[in-house]
Amino acid sequence: MVKPTLGGPPTYVSLAAAKLGAKVSVISKVGEDFPPRYIGWLKNQGIDLSGLQKVEGASTTSYTLNYTKGGERQLILRSRAPPIEAEDIPNQLEAKAIHIAPIANEILPETVRRLRGQSNIVSLDPQGFLRRFKEDGTMFLEQMKDLEVLRRINLFKASHEEIRMVTGESNLVQAVIKVYEHGVEIVIVTMGGEGSLLYVKGKLYQVPAAKPRVIADTTGSGDVFIGGMLAEYVKGKDPLWCASVGSASASFVVEKLGPRGFGSAKELYERAAIVYERSAIL
């Protein structure tokens, strides 16, 4: 049975950061089909939606997620919202950090350039730049041909499959180094239950996955990782600690269906401390 569920990076990243005390605003576009109850619920979670545009006559970006018996996820695009253009970014945007997370190529290059001038910390999840779609909406990944966008960001977060598609490097460490050499200060590669890699200041760290009590739904875990990490990073914390918090954040969201599995800050920091102690330089 297909059950519509609120999701996407604007939801998961924002909620993860807000749970750690960050003030979060969303810049996005939805269609007339976007349920008002979602807007009300997000506002009740403390998310500023003044930058959310409901476009007349348009549809909200939506996917169907199918999971195979082996646990692999198949993503099918059902509809796509209008692109987010440079003029959609407020002139007086004040942000300690900006996270750019295209879902289906809806963020334009000039938009990234505009955002680069709005904050000293700009992070990127490149998944939406890699995705291509067949006529039936089935998603597949295609290598990025232009890596210029990497020169405009400070933090880069991708899955192990995505970073290989970004760089064309099959060797994971070489892929990380290639991204870093474009001027990115921090590179994070998420690997599910195997934890993540963190590359900063020429050092590569293995950050273990925090252990959830149960795994109910892994959707959004990567977005929650970067949301938790950024919430700590803007406080000036050590990047390894920030990544540990990201790992802990992700471990809570998988415990429930949809964007509702968030522990208290105390619980999250307790899990993060365990991850931090178990992290190692490779």
Cα atoms in the Cβ-side hemisphere of radius 13 Å centred on 173: 6
3-state secondary structure of 94: coil
CA separation for the pair 170, 173 (Å, rounded): 9
**Token pair belonging to 141:** 């990944």
* The pLDDT of residue 242: 98
3-state secondary structure of 20: coil
89-103, 129-143, 229-243 — which one is most confidently predicted on average?
Answer: 229-243
Mean pLDDT of 42-56: 95
Instruction: State percent of the chain over pLDDT 90.
Output: 77
**Does position 255 have pLDDT exceeding 70, yes or no?**
yes
Where does the pLDDT of residue 69 fall: very low under 50, low under 70, confident under 90, or very high at 90 and above?
A: low
> Among the residues of the chain, which ranges form H helices?
9-18, 36-44, 109-116, 127-130, 160-167, 172-180, 221-233, 239-253, 265-278
* The pLDDT of residue 236: 94
CA separation for the pair 98, 92 (Å, rounded): 14
* The pLDDT of residue 3: 64
pLDDT in tens, 146-169: 788 999 999 999 999 999 999 999
Predicted TM-score of the model (pTM):
0.93
* The pLDDT of residue 1: 47
CA separation for the pair 179, 177 (Å, rounded): 5
Mean pLDDT of 223-233: 96
Amino acid at 205: Y
Mean pLDDT of 259-269: 87
Every domain of the chain and the residues it spans: 86-281
On average, the pLDDT of the chain sits at 92
Amino acid at 89: I
Least confident of 11-25, 87-101, 241-255: 87-101
Domain 86-281 = CATH 3.40.605.10: no
* The pLDDT of residue 261: 79
How far from 126 is each of 37, 42, 162, 179, CA to CA, in Å?
29, 24, 8, 12
pLDDT in tens, 177-221: 999 999 999 999 999 889 999 999 999 999 999 999 998 888 889
